[in-house]
Amino acid sequence: MSREWWRSAVVYQVYPRSFAGGGREGTLAGLRARLGHLAGLGVDAVWLTPFYPSPLADGGYDVADHCGVDPRYGTLDDFGALVAEAGALGIRVIVDIVPNHCSAEHPWFRQALAAPPGSPERERFVFRDRPNNWISKFGGPAWSQAPDGQWYLHLFDAAQPDWNWRHPDVVALFERTLRFWLDRGVAGFRIDVANMLFKQEGLPDVAAPGLTPLRPEAGATPYENQPELLELYRSWRKILDGYPGDRTTVAEIWFDAAEHAEPYLGGDGLAQLFDFRLMPCPWEAAAFRAVIDDSHRLARRSGGSIPWVLGNHDVPRMVTRFGIDQDLVRQPTAEVLLGQVEVDVALGTRRARAAALLQLALPGSAYLYQGDELGLPEHLAIPAERRQDPMFERTGRAFIGRDGCRVPLPWSGEAPPYGFPAGDSPELGTWLPQPPGWGPLTVAAQEADPGSTLALYRRALAERRAHPALGDGDLEWLDLGPDLLAFRREPGFTLVTNFGPGAAELPSHEAVLLASGPLDGSLLPADTTVWLR
């Protein structure tokens, strides 16, 4: 049976502003110059978070022009060259599409603000005389006031007005946008906050307005999962299918219960949606197994594809998540939200390596976040005045926000900017400051070290290529006790992850294919994953 490439793909998420410079910030030329890193890693595709013209009120998720390249990153020609050069290396390019909201600088929103209440210009957005009780995902009310007193809806920052998806201009704008990037050779789209575009008519109040930044509430609010979305994504699928080759749509949908994800899957609408539920998982076999089971069953039942995610630009890095008291992962306290936690980086690194091998052996597709292949920890100590994430101020500084996982990558050298050219004013450093002590984590240092996390990822992806059955398919759980997660995949492939505090006996095997850390004879040490034949 011929299966679409994206069902098994390992996709690497590039946050262009922090991937490779450039200057204080990354650029598309910087990314092109570092494509060798991605080819060496062995990924099938890259997903680029927004690089469109934007005032960067939310790191580019405030898009002022959907069909352009922000000059800080380069030009459309640079984008074309990127697609061509990546393609020559066998790497597809997926781009982000941000359809829930735009930038307050988008020409249509400027026109709306300049036009009077009740005008056609305001119809493209959600203007009302009175706000309801919705809370912004970044904290504070989801409504801001125009100078004439009307309110406009923004589920995120005030600089990100929500579109009115019942307006034909909005539908047409995004159809044009899809075609614009498809014409430039993209292999698909990651759809930002894909479940929120339509709001229930009448905009009813929510029962319990509130904000939980680390675990966004998910499910049945009047601004999520409205039935019109299914039809919209069917129409998008038709557009994608009009182009040769198979192209994907992968939706950002935070869900807790499978019932909220299921309607989107397996039909003629969305190709894929992420499962983010491994990210808030404490380091515990049962917690991981519950998510994997639920998601895998959902994928099999629906015929859909649900890529596994351990990190992205919105969530603290896994080395840090796994390196803190795991009760705090289960129940984040105010101190955790402020980053005031003790981190055992060595422990977090061991577990992150074990988690990576687990992720890469699960059936289906996997998304890797830039820097996770280097085992970077969250940078918790960014000074308040350098923080950029709007969540920091909108939560009254009760949550340090997402900057700590967005720090520019360390490429080489012993000190910042670690080979990320610092531009004309080196004293300023990179746009988000890098911490001291990352010398051993640079790409150059890890390339020279066969025991490095980078070397582990490379070997894992090479094994995955050598065993296509490790992609899409099935898994069979093995019961080896409460601390061990173990499954078999064809042909003759077994994975065991030891979540427990002590070493455990390995099941019988012919050979060890790969291990996330040193084995102890026939024992699998704590916080270690092994791939066996």
Question: Rule CB under 6 A: which residues touch ligand GLC?
Answer: 58, 61, 98, 156, 192-193, 252, 313-314
Query: Taking the mean position of all CA atoms in its chain, how far away is CA 483?
Result: 28
Q: How far is the CB of 86 from ligand GLC (least distance, A)?
A: 22
Nearer to ligand GLC, 372 or 527 (CB): 372
Comparison of 156 and 174: residue with beta carbon closer to ligand GLC: 156
The label of the residue with tokens 């926000």 reads 401
Question: Least distance (Å) from ligand GLC to the CB of residue 120?
Answer: 26
Q: Minimum distance between the CB of residue 218 and ligand GLC, rounded to whole angstroms?
A: 12
Structure tokens at 525: 């040490």
User: Minimum CB separation from ligand GLC for residue 160, in Å?
Assistant: 6
CB of 50 to ligand GLC, least distance (A): 8
Please state, in angstroms and rounded to a whole number, the distance separating the CA atoms of residues 384 and 397.
Answer: 9
CA–CA separation, 401 vs 391, rounded Å?
A: 5
231 labelled catalytic: no
Instruction: Tell me the Cα Rg of the chain.
Output: 23
How far apart CA 428 and CA 433 sit, in angstroms, is 8
Look up residue 55 and give its DSSP letter. -
> How remote is the C-alpha of 533 from its chain's centroid?
32
Q: Which residue lies nearer to ligand GLC by CB, 78 or 314?
A: 314
The amino acid sitting at 97 is I
Query: How many beta carbons lie within 10 A of that of residue 516, not counting itself?
Result: 27
Q: Which is nearer to ligand GLC, 193 or 361 (CB)?
A: 193
Would you say the C-alpha torsion 425, 374, 460, 472 has a positive or negative sign?
negative
Q: Rounded to the nearest whole angstrom, what is the least distance from the CB of residue 450 to ligand GLC in the complex?
A: 35
Contact 113, 154 (CB under 8 A): no
Burial class (CB in 10 A: 0-12, 13-18, 19+), 208: exposed
Tokens representing residue 29 in the block = 């030329």
Classify burial at 130, counting beta carbons within 10 Å of its beta carbon; exposed 0-12, middle 13-18, buried 19 or more: exposed
Q: Which residue lies nearer to ligand GLC by CB, 197 or 515?
A: 197
- Amino acid residing at 373: E
Q: Which is nearer to ligand GLC, 32 or 101 (CB)?
A: 101
Per DSSP, helices labelled H in 206-262 are 228-241, 258-261
Q: Name the residue whose CB lies closest to ligand GLC.
A: 61
How many other CB atoms are there within 10 angstroms of residue 89's CB atom? 12
When the beta carbons of 156 and 420 are compared against ligand GLC, the nearer one is 156
- Of the candidates 44, 96, 157, 192, the residue annotated as catalytic is 192
Tokens 């249509």, residue?
A: 108
CB-CB contact of 180 with 66 (8 Å)? yes
CB 303 within 8 A of CB 392: no
CB of 314 to ligand GLC, least distance (A): 5
Q: Which is nearer to ligand GLC, 70 or 314 (CB)?
A: 314
Distance of CA 355 to the CA centre of its chain: 16
Give, to the nearest 10 degrees, the angle between helix 453-466 and helix 345-361.
10
Q: In angstroms, what is the minimal distance from the CB of 155 to ligand GLC? A: 8
252 is known as an active-site residue? yes
Considering the candidates 252, 275, 372, 373, report the single residue annotated as catalytic. Answer: 252
Report the DSSP beta bridge partners of residue 92. Answer: 45
Q: Is 43 within 8 Å of 91 (Cβ atoms)?
A: yes
Residues labelled catalytic: 192, 252
